[in-house]
Structure 1
């Protein structure tokens, strides 16, 4: 007898929808088909789509920023929100600050997640200090334990890595089996633009996008792609936001450079005009890189169609609109002192389903690939991202006709606002399972903190190095 049978739905399996039941035993998918036999529980899925649970490989949870501000979400509130949105695996950040041992940082984040997470998770290691034992002891040890993703910034004074440090980290990833993820913006351009804007009195939140011009992304993406090509070590370029950025990724991949890229719903669906109006409205939508223009959105959609951008993530970075978050520096804070980021864990999948499937920008296969199976593949999350025998029973049962009009504060996180207020989406999950356990049942919370487990990253195909462009001497 199976533990659970999902009966009567249309299952996304083998790249297409098929009318079938899904049998679950011991937290994994045991069989797909008809007349599979008895189960202790049957979940009716007639009229619904049975899809893999989403894999969100870019989210900030219970993390202290470089400016010392704690995210609004705990692991419990963030993963609760993720589950309501159909996501069953998150990759968050273990953020090192200067002077901290990486091993201790990771142990602290693992403990927080183990207590609070309702769904499964993994970590990117934000490296801000490469001194001491970081490169020679801590990273090799952690990567051997399945923490195979390193995150670096090319900007922000307390976490910025220069090119030499990036190269060192690329070689650690090459030697130990891993991937380097990059927030790529040119630090000098950002500081110069910010200084000039403030000197002329243009320091209100609505001027934030002007302080992050496209040139900053263009230069840094180009430079990081060259470093990846130079070392032969794969990189993931986070949150590509511009048409030129998409072209850089395409050109690099065309040369054979080991470059992978992602983008986010707010770059595909929001306009820079969102960061206008009064200080509160603008601050709520400040993120970095900022939202861009219509030509950029068009180019990003085309990059998804062409396969140049291969993952869609939320970049969930929640800060409340009060003194604990966005306005920690006061209600009249200038834009450089307003925390960057928006909530996105719960809205990512419904927004993308509505745009890609309901409205026809792409199709269901692309939706599943970009939001679940491909992120799982890239980061070596074995057993995630697919509905197939032997895979974890991470399943989201979708009502493709369900309509949602987002309200001012209707999400299940702890941010206190919804940046998509007023937007209508068609298609949303109603029941969500994590390793066979219902975490959302008929639109109501059923999961419990502590159910989520850490998923060690295996060395994926996307992490495997190629030959350095300058010869074997680099790997001696």
Structure 2
């Protein structure tokens, strides 16, 4: 006698990174146990006729409850942040355990576990942020943590409290090469930004819109070129995060043409926002869209769309960095409108990432459904050692799934589930939204949120399994 499934999703239009096909999906014990036509009965059944079913999203670049210098505080912790993720179709998140200068990297990881324990509604892993690569970190802590399943880390070329110099970056990249880890790099030239910022301040140009003037594309271009060169010297793959426009894209294309293993990530703000969203005058409202690199212009949006379509970009992440606009702990530190230098960098996006790309990418005819799945689920899972458990619809994979509803809806912050008091995409007309989100075969979103606080599991990551940069595997 055939064992019954716990759940069968009937008549699904299944979309993976390589194929789109019609099938039933059978779930047993939280995993996909059957995939075919006319599967045996399930204890529960869900009819997805006429609807696309994709793997749950893997948001491989988001910030939740990351320690900040007072009075600033991130608006989303692991409760509200993973609640918003689930309602937006994301079933795995990978935020950052950030080392403070002078702090043990191991201590940063322990602190981040304390912040996450008992709160997460979806599964999660941690990237590391290395800000103080001391001999102990390089020779002991980082190799040991990589072996324990923290197989990716980020280094910064900007921000005074995080940036590394070139020699330090080489040291960290060397560990990545020895241990088979994935190194992520925030590529902006800190000295050029500081020089421009001082000149703008001297001229009284401190409104939010001048944030973009202090971070022109050339500071991203130069740092991207330098990051590529440092990786070439060490002979190690790297991933350039949140690429914003043409000049950095050209550096990555050059590297790829020379056979270098350079992967790239971009984010919704570089498709749906422009520098004008930081303000056309000295109004402070533009602070809501201050992020780094800043949004560019419409011509650069087209470059990013082209890169998503042709394989230049490996991953599409939210870079969710949630700060409230009103109050005294977010975009207005201590309740004050401050010069752009002091505005907390980042915008919310963990809940809107998938719907924006599905609406304007897939339904807008810019990318295929398979490319969508590759960018938002499969490749992030591969890059950070979670595939095929995550990011796939296959026998044995976790039953993390999204059943899509197509149809117009207006994006309004009041309908979202994060703890931020705005969305930069307010009023945008979307063409689709996740109708049902399942984590391990359990419905967490079906138009209403069904909490699973504490049921989200910490994931031990393996080594990256991405193929050659720019190639589909």
TM-score norm. by structure 2 comes to: 0.95
* Residue equivalent to 1:346: 351
Other-structure match for 2:394: 388
State which of 80, 85, 95 in structure 2 corresponds to 1:82.
85
Contact 1:234/1:463 (8 A) holds in 2: no
Separation of aligned partners in 2, 1:452 and 1:218: 38
Q: CA deviation at 1:8?
A: 2.1
- Whether contact under 8 Å (2:228, 2:255) holds in the other structure is yes
- The residue aligned with 2:328 is 323
Aligned position for 2:375: 370
Deviation, 1:455, is 1.6
Q: Equivalent residues in 2 for 1:323-472 (5 A)?
A: 323-382=328-387, 383-401=389-407, 403-440=408-445, 442-462=446-466
Task: Give distance in 1, aligned partners of 2:48 and 2:18.
Answer: 19
Q: Corresponding residue for 1:107?
A: 110
Q: Which residue of 2 aligns with 1:48?
A: 51
Report the alpha carbon displacement of residue 132 of structure 1 after superposing the two structures with TM.
Answer: 4.5
SS at match of 1:205: coil
Alignment-derived partner of residue 14 in structure 2: 11
CA distance in 1, matches of 2:334, 2:270: 27
Go from structure 1 to structure 2 and tell me whether the alpha carbon gap of 1:366 and 1:73 turns closer, same or farther (over 3 Å shift).
same
Cα separation, 1, equivalents of 2:413 and 2:353? 17
| Residue 206 (structure 2) pairs with residue 203 (structure 1) | yes
Q: Which residue of 1 aligns with 2:252?
A: 249
Distance 1:37-1:463 versus aligned 2 partners, 3 A rule: closer
| Residue 291 (structure 2) pairs with residue 284 (structure 1) | no
Q: In 1, distance between residues paired with 2:361 and 2:17?
A: 19
- Give TM-score scaled by structure 1 length: 0.94
Whether contact under 8 Å (2:17, 2:370) holds in the other structure is no
Q: 2:278 aligns with which of 269, 275, 278?
A: 275
In structure 2, what is the equivalent of residue 73 of structure 1? 76
The SS at the match of 1:116 is coil
Deviations 1:341-364 (A, max 9, x none): 110000000000011111111111
Deviation string, structure 1 residues 193-216 (Cα, Å, up to 9, x no partner): 110111000001121111111111
- Equivalent residues in 2 for 1:116-127, closer than 5 Å: 116-127=119-130
Deviations 1:422-472 (A, max 9, x none): 1010011111111112111x211113111111221111234999xxxxxxx
- What per-residue deviation string (whole Å, max 9, x for no partner) do you get for residues 265-314 of structure 1? 11012111111056442011111100001221111111222211111110
Match of 1:470?
none
Count of aligned pairs: 463
Q: What 5-or-longer segments of structure 2 have no aligned partner?
A: none
- Tell me the distance in 1 between the aligned counterparts of 2:209 and 2:353: 24
Contact map agreement 1:249 1:259 (CA 8 A) in 2: yes
Matches within 5 A, 1:177-256: 177-256=180-259
After superposition, give the CA deviation of every residue in 1:30-69 in whole Å (9 maximum; x if it has no partner): 0111221121111221221111101111000010246773
Instruction: Give the CA deviation at 1:16.
Output: 2.7
Unaligned runs of 5+ in 1: 466-476
The answer to whether the Cα contact below 8 Å between 2:71 and 2:333 also exists between their aligned partners in 1 is no
Aligned to 2:95, the other structure's residue is in SS state strand
Other structure's SS at 2:287 match: helix
* Structure 1 residues 388-414: Cα deviation after superposition (integer angstroms, max 9, x where no partner): 11111110010122x221124432011
